[in-house]
A and B are shown apart, each in its own frame.
Chain A
C-alpha cells in the first residue's frame, strides 16, 4: 500500500522540527527567566533594605573635654542627686565644644557647632554624673553621641561633590569633623540605644524598644485568644459538627474571612471595640483582639488539616477501649496533631506580627516614647513604627526604618524556621 502524500508529510514535519524545537527552547527560557525575575525582585528588595539599614546599627561618638566644675554647672560642690538632675549640662557641653574650636566666634557658627552633638548627650552626661558623683569638679574627656547629621557625614553618607546649599551638612561642620577625625576624637560604636529606647523626634535617639514591647503585648493577646479558640473550633468542625446548614454556614464564613482585606478588620475594631464597647484607643488589648479575629481563619484551616491527618486507627483504638468521643479527641487525637497545629499557629502569628493596616484604624499610630507596661497602655507595634519612620523626611530615619525592617524580618524568619522545623519533625512521625 502506498500513500502518495506520506513522504511529503514526513518531510513537512521534518522541516518544521527545527522551528518547533527552537520554540521549545525559547519557551523553556521564558520560564526560567520568570523564575529568575522573581529571584531578582527578592534579591533587590533584601539588598536594598540591608544596604540602607546596616549603618543604623552603628553610631558615632565624639570625644569632648568637659569641665565638670560645680559653679559652671550651677550646683554646689557635693551636690545631691536631685540637684544634679537640674544642673546645666547643656552649657557644659557647649563650653567644651567652644574650647575645642576657639576659632569659632560668630553666633551662627557657634550654633552650628553645638548641633554637632545630639541633644540627648546632656542626659547621657547627667546619667554619667549621677552614677559617678566623684567626677564633679574634674575636667574629663567624655565620649558624647553625635547629632544624626554629623553622624551621617562620619558614616560617609554625605556627597561632598554636591553644592553646599543642596546638602544639609555644611562645609564648616565638615571641616570641624575632619579635624576631629584626624585627632582620633571620633569613634563608631554599636548602636545600643536603638534597642534600648523608645521613639524620638531625633533620629540618633530613636529606638525600637517601645515598639518591640508593643508588638510583644499585642501578639500575646492575639495568641491567647486565637490559639485556643482556633483549635477548639477546628476540633468541633472536624470531630463533632453534624452535617447541616449551620455547619455549612460556619465553614463558608471561615473561608470568606480568610480573604477579607485586613483593613476591614480594622474598621470592625474601630466601630465595635472602640466606639461601642469603649475600650481604650491605641492599646495592645484591642490590637490583639482585632489581629486574633484576623488570624483565626488561618489557624482553624491549618488545625483542621492537621487533625484530618491523624490516622483513623488512633481514634478507633481509643474508642475501642471505651474512651468517650471527647476523651478520644483530647487525649489521643490532639496530641498527635499538635505539631501540625503549632506550625499553622506560628505561621498565623508571623502574619499578625507583620500586619499594620488594621492597627492604624484603632489608633496604634501614636508617637510612643515610653515603653508600655501592659496590654492597656498606649503603644505601637514594630510594623507601625516602620510606617511612621518611613514618613519622616530626615535621612537618619531612613536608615532607622531599614534597620527596624531588618529586626522585624529577623523575627519573621525565626518564627518560620521554628514552623518548618516542627513540620519536618511532624512529617517523619
Chain B
C-alpha cells in the first residue's frame, strides 16, 4: 500500500476510534445512572481513543517512511554481482538510479542490462513487501492503541485532562520548531563548511586576498584549484552596505525627527504609511530598478563629468539598497525617539531652547545608544540582502574601496555558486555554505549586539 492510502485508512480508523470511544463512555454512563456520573464529556473519551490510535501509528509510519529507501537500496545492492558492488560510489549511484527509474516506471528498459532488470524486479518485490509490512504495522499500532483506551474507559477516567495534556504537548512542539529551525540552519551550514575547510585551510579563506572559485575540470589542468580568499567579498559587502547607510541613515533619521517632532498629526498619519510602502516592495523589484534604471543613469552621469563608472557599480546597488532601508531606519528611530521621556524634552524647552536645540542637544544624545542599535540592525539587513546585489552588483571580486567600480558580495557569490547544475561535493558548492556560515554568524552577532543595546536603552527610561 502506498503512503497516501495508508494515511486515508488511518484517518478512517481514528474516526472509528472516536465513535467507539464516545459510545463506550455513553454506555458506561447510562449503566451507572446518567451522564453526570462521567468525569468528562463523552466526546473527550472519543478524542482520547482517536489520539491513542493516531499517535503510535503515525510514529511507526514516520520510522518506516524514513528508513524505506535506504533499507531497500542496501538490500538491492547487496544482491548485485561483486564486480558492480565494488564500483566507485558515483558510478554505483548512477547504476542504482537506472534500476530505480526502471522499477518505478520512469524509464524504459531497453538501455538496461540483464543484471539491472533482475535487480529492478527484486526492487519491486522488496518494495511491495516493505509497504505491506508498513501498512500492517501502522494498522496494528492504531488498533492496539484504540483497544487499550476502549478497555481502560471507566466513568472516573479523566479523559479531558488527558486529551488536554496531549494538546499542550502539540502546542509545545509547534513553538519548539523555532529552535529546530535554528539548529537545522547551524548544522546544515556548519557541516558543509567543515568539509570545505578540510580542503581549503581556514586561514586561506579568512585572510586570502583573491577570490576566484573556478575549479579545474581535470586534475592535471593548470591552476587546479581556485582561490577562496574571503577578504574581497567582505570589502565589497561592506562597501555596498556603507553606501546604503549613507543614503538611509540621514534620510530615515531626519524623516523620523520631522514626523515625530514637527509634523502635524494629519501629515504624519498620511506620510508614514506612504513611506512604509518602500519597505513592502519586493527586493527583486529594487534589483530591477537598480540594474535597469539607476545603474545606467549613474554611468551616464559619471561619463558626462568625465568619470569612468562601471556598469555594475557598487554605487547603484548601494543607493537602491539605501532606499529600501529608509523605512526600516525611520520606524526604528521613531520608536527610539518616542521612548525619550517627555520630562527631558519639556525641561529643555522650558529653559528657552528652541525645538531644534532641544532635539540636537538633548533628545539625540539621550537617544544615541538606541539609534546606534537601530543602525546596527539596518546594517545587518544590508549585509544579508540578496536580490538587489545579485541583479545590480558585479560577479568578479575586486579589492577596492571605490564605489564607482564593480564589486561583489557574499550573498552574490552564494547565489552564483549554487544556482545551476553542480555536483554537491565540489569545493565550489561547499564554499557557498562556508560563506553562508559567515553570513549567518555576522548577522547574528550584529543582531544580538543591537537588540542588547536597544533593550538596555529602553530599560534606562522605564
User: Which residues of A are interface residues toward B (Cβ below 8 A)?
Assistant: 20-21, 23-24, 27-28, 30-35, 37-39, 41-42, 45, 48-49, 52, 228-230, 232-237, 240-241, 249-250, 253-257, 259-265, 267-268, 270-272, 275, 278, 293, 296-297, 300, 324-326, 350, 353-357, 360-361, 365, 383-384, 386-387, 390-391, 398, 401-402, 405, 408-409, 412, 416
Known: A24-B354, A28-B258, A233-B175. A261 touches B189 (CB 8 A): no
Known: A232-B171, A416-B280. A261 touches B384 (CB 8 A): yes
Known: A262-B384, A390-B287. 8 other contacts (CB 8 A): A45-B278, A241-B172, A250-B176, A254-B178, A257-B178, A268-B185, A268-B189, A354-B283
Residues of A within 8 A of B285 (CB): 45, 49, 354, 386, 405, 408-409
A-B contacts counted at CB < 8 A amount to 253
Q: Which of A35, A264, A356, A365 contacts B275 (CB 8 A)?
A: A35
Known: A253-B178, A296-B177. A34 touches B254 (CB 8 A): yes
Known: A41-B278, A267-B436. A357 touches B386 (CB 8 A): yes
Known: A31-B255, A357-B283. A271 touches B433 (CB 8 A): yes
Residues of B within 8 A of A39 (CB): 271, 274-275
Bound form: Cα–Cα A264–B418 in Å: 12
Residues of B within 8 A of A263 (CB): 384, 386, 411, 414-415, 436, 439
Known: A49-B289, A355-B282, A398-B292. A390 touches B356 (CB 8 A): no
| Residue of B185, B189, B327, B385 with highest tally of chain A CB at under 10 A | B185
List residues 33-73 of chain B with CB under 8 A from any CB of chain A. 69
B443: Cβ under 8 A from any A Cβ: yes
Does the CB pair A390–B288 fall under 8 Å? yes
Interface string of B317-342 (1 = CB under 8 A from A): 00000010011001000000000000
Q: Which of A262, A267, A296, A355 contacts B178 (CB 8 A)?
A: A296
Residues of B within 8 A of A24 (CB): 354-357
Does the CB pair A383–B250 fall under 8 Å? no
Interface string of B336-369 (1 = CB under 8 A from A): 0000000000000000001111011000000000
The residue of chain B having its C-beta at the shortest distance from the C-beta of A43 within the complex is B274
Does the CB pair A264–B278 fall under 8 Å? no
Residues of A within 8 A of B415 (CB): 263, 357, 360-361
The residue of chain B having its C-beta at the shortest distance from the C-beta of A235 within the complex is B171
Interchain nearest-CB distance for B390 vs A (Å): 8
Q: Which of B255, B355, B439, B440 contacts A35 (CB 8 A)?
A: B255
Residues of A within 8 A of B277 (CB): 42
A sample of 21 cross-chain residue pairs with beta-carbon separation below 8 angstroms, ordered by A number, consists of A35-B254, A35-B263, A38-B278, A38-B327, A38-B330, A41-B323, A45-B278, A229-B174, A233-B171, A233-B174, A235-B171, A256-B444, A264-B436, A267-B414, A271-B192, A357-B415, A361-B418, A386-B285, A387-B284, A387-B387, A408-B285
B426: Cβ under 8 A from any A Cβ: no
Bound form: Cα–Cα A255–B255 in Å: 27
Interface of B is mostly: helix
Does the CB pair B69–A34 fall under 8 Å? no
Residues of B within 8 A of A234 (CB): 175
Bound form: Cα–Cα A395–B21 in Å: 68
Residues of B within 8 A of A365 (CB): 419
Bound form: Cα–Cα A326–B165 in Å: 9
Q: How many residues of B contact A (CB 8 A)?
A: 89
User: Which residues of B are interface residues toward A (Cβ below 8 A)?
Assistant: 69, 160-161, 164, 167-168, 170-172, 174-179, 181-182, 184-185, 188-189, 191-192, 250-255, 257-259, 261-263, 271, 274-275, 277-278, 280-289, 291-293, 323, 326-327, 330, 354-357, 359-360, 377, 380-381, 383-387, 390-391, 411, 414-415, 418-419, 424, 432-433, 436, 439-440, 443-444, 447-448, 451
Bound form: Cα–Cα A21–B357 in Å: 10
Bound form: Cα–Cα A324–B162 in Å: 12
Residues of B within 8 A of A296 (CB): 177-178, 181
Does the CB pair A387–B287 fall under 8 Å? yes
Does the CB pair A233–B178 fall under 8 Å? yes
| Residue of A45, A253, A254 with highest tally of chain B CB at under 10 A | A45
Does the CB pair B282–A383 fall under 8 Å? yes
Does the CB pair A34–B178 fall under 8 Å? no
Q: Which of A255, A324, A387 contacts B164 (CB 8 A)?
A: A324
Known: A31-B258, A256-B182, A259-B447. A405 touches B288 (CB 8 A): yes
The residue of chain B having its C-beta at the shortest distance from the C-beta of A232 within the complex is B174
Does the CB pair B177–A261 fall under 8 Å? no
